[in-house]
Structure 1
Amino acid sequence: MATDDTSVSGVAGRYATALFELARDQKSIDAVRADVDKFAALLADNPDLVRLVRSPVFTAQEQGKALDAVLTKAGITGITANFLKVLTANRRLFAVNDVIRAFRALVAKFRGEATADVTVAEPLNDKNLDALKASLKSVTGKDVDLNVKVDPSIIGGLIVKLGSRMVDSSLRTKLNSIKHAMKEAG
């Protein structure tokens, strides 16, 4: 079932599929998803953790020791913690962001949800997130899981990628369009 999803392939897809199938078999998809999201948030907020994850300079033992401390402090245990330790031992921790993305896609497919990647200039409040989810649900007919990324360089507005569709209503894009139109006119 999960292996039929063409959006997960390569090393990250294989690891994500293994994590998903283990979580499904243990009936703990929600708990694993919460822990995966917690780890993703740690990565998003901590450049030192990103360096630890991505740098080939650290040995597997050094990464494992540091990861143990991070997981303990974050309260990430069980399947997710063991999975991250396997990634570390197999020297695949550098692919953790892709694994997380693929795992989220598998969970969304399993639940009959769609996944949208949303880029915003500033964090959205709950009211705006709910409105965006409702709007996307009306388009897709499915519940939509949002992967929100904050990128101040878009200045304002948002960029939404849903499946093969993308809507870019960022202020940066609109300003660039005006700039190009002015060059052509001038």
Structure 2
Amino acid sequence: MAAEETSVSGVSGRYATALFELARDEKSIDAVLLDLDKFNSMLEQSADLQRLVRSPVFSADIQLSALTAILNQAGISGISANFLKVLTANRRLFAVADMIRAFRALVAKFKGEASADVTVAEALNEKNLDALKTALKSVTGKDVTLNVKVDPAIIGGLVVKLGSRMVDSSLRTKLNSIKHAMKEAG
């Protein structure tokens, strides 16, 4: 039922939808989102945790033991911890980042919010983040949650993906298009 009214698909979408429906039924959507965001931050900051999550070398038992210790130390429990443990048991932990993204999208849709993926060359300050949120709100008519990723390779500018729309004002893209135009002219 929920899968028909959302835009998530594939294995990640199915797991995220199941988690969302359980969290909604238990009235714990915000708590689960907070836990998943905490785990995602830990994942982004730890090469060892990334290796544990992604490497097929580790057995499910080893992953589960290590993950349980990590979750206990981080204070992640309840539905969120059970979800991560089920992923481990089903050998799907490697896709956890995609599942967290899909869960965020489901929560945003449920709350009537929009979500935008923003790639910048360097971290934005609060003033710039607020200005970007305001600009996107004027376009969508909804509050917009930003998922910001820093990628120095874009050199400058930013890339914004809002639903199926993408605006790429990065310097790398502009330089590539100039280079391409010069090749065509020569």
**TM-score, length-scaled by structure 2:** 0.94
2:6–2:106 contact (8 Å) kept in structure 1: no
Q: Note if contact 1:133-1:143 (Cα within 8 Å) is conserved in structure 2.
A: yes
Where does residue 88 of structure 1 map in the other structure?
A: 88
Deviation at 1:6, TM superposition (A): 4.7
Asked if the contact 1:114/1:143 (under 8 Å) is kept, the reply is: yes
Identify unmatched segments of 5+ residues in structure 2.
none
**2:142 is equivalent to residue 174 of structure 1:** no
Quote the Cα distance in structure 2 between the aligned partners of 1:169 and 1:182.
19
Deviation at 1:63, TM superposition (A): 0.5
Could you tell me which residue of structure 2 aligns to residue 156 of structure 1? Answer: 156
* Structure 1 counterpart of 2:173, one-letter code: T
Task: Provide the secondary structure at the position in 2 that maps to 1:57.
Answer: coil
- Match of 2:114? 114
Structure 1's 5 and 89: CA in aligned 2 closer, same or farther, altered over 3 A?
same
Q: 133-142 or 71-80, which moves further after superposition?
A: 71-80
Q: Partners of 1:66 and 1:162 in 2: how far apart?
A: 36
SS at match of 2:58: coil
Tell me how far 1:185 sits from its aligned partner.
3.3
Task: Give the C-alpha shift of residue 181 in structure 1.
Answer: 2.5
Identity of aligned residues (%): 80
Q: Is the counterpart of residue 68 in structure 1 residue 73 in structure 2?
A: no
The 3-state SS of whatever aligns with 2:124 is coil
What amino acid maps onto 2:72 in structure 1? Answer: T
- Corresponding residue for 2:142? 142
- CA deviation after TM superposition for structure 1 residue 12, in Å: 1.1
Counterparts of 1:146 and 1:5 in 2: how far apart (Å)? 22
Residue 83 of structure 1: how far off its partner (Å) = 0.8
User: In the aligned structure 2, how far is the partner of 1:44 from the partner of 1:3?
Assistant: 28
Three-state SS of the structure 2 residue aligned to 1:91 is coil
Whichever residue aligns with residue 3 of structure 1, its letter is A
- CA displacement at 1:7 relative to structure 2: 2.0
**Equivalent in the alignment of 2:55:** 55
**Deviations 1:42-79 (Å, cap 9, x if unpaired)?**
11111221111111110011101111122122221221
* CA deviation string 1:19-60 (max 9, x = no partner): 111111111111111111111111111122111111111001
Q: Aligned partners of 1:74, 1:140: CA distance in 2, in Å?
A: 36
Match for residue 36 of structure 1? 36
CA RMSD of aligned residues (A): 1.3
Counterparts of 1:29 and 1:35, CA distance in 2 = 10
Secondary structure of the corresponding residue to residue 181 of structure 2: helix
Q: How far is the alpha carbon of 1:8 from its aligned partner?
A: 1.3
Task: Classify the secondary structure of the residue corresponding to 1:44.
Answer: helix
Q: Secondary structure at the match of 2:42?
A: helix
Residue number in structure 2 paired with 1:185: 185
Letter paired with 1:172: R
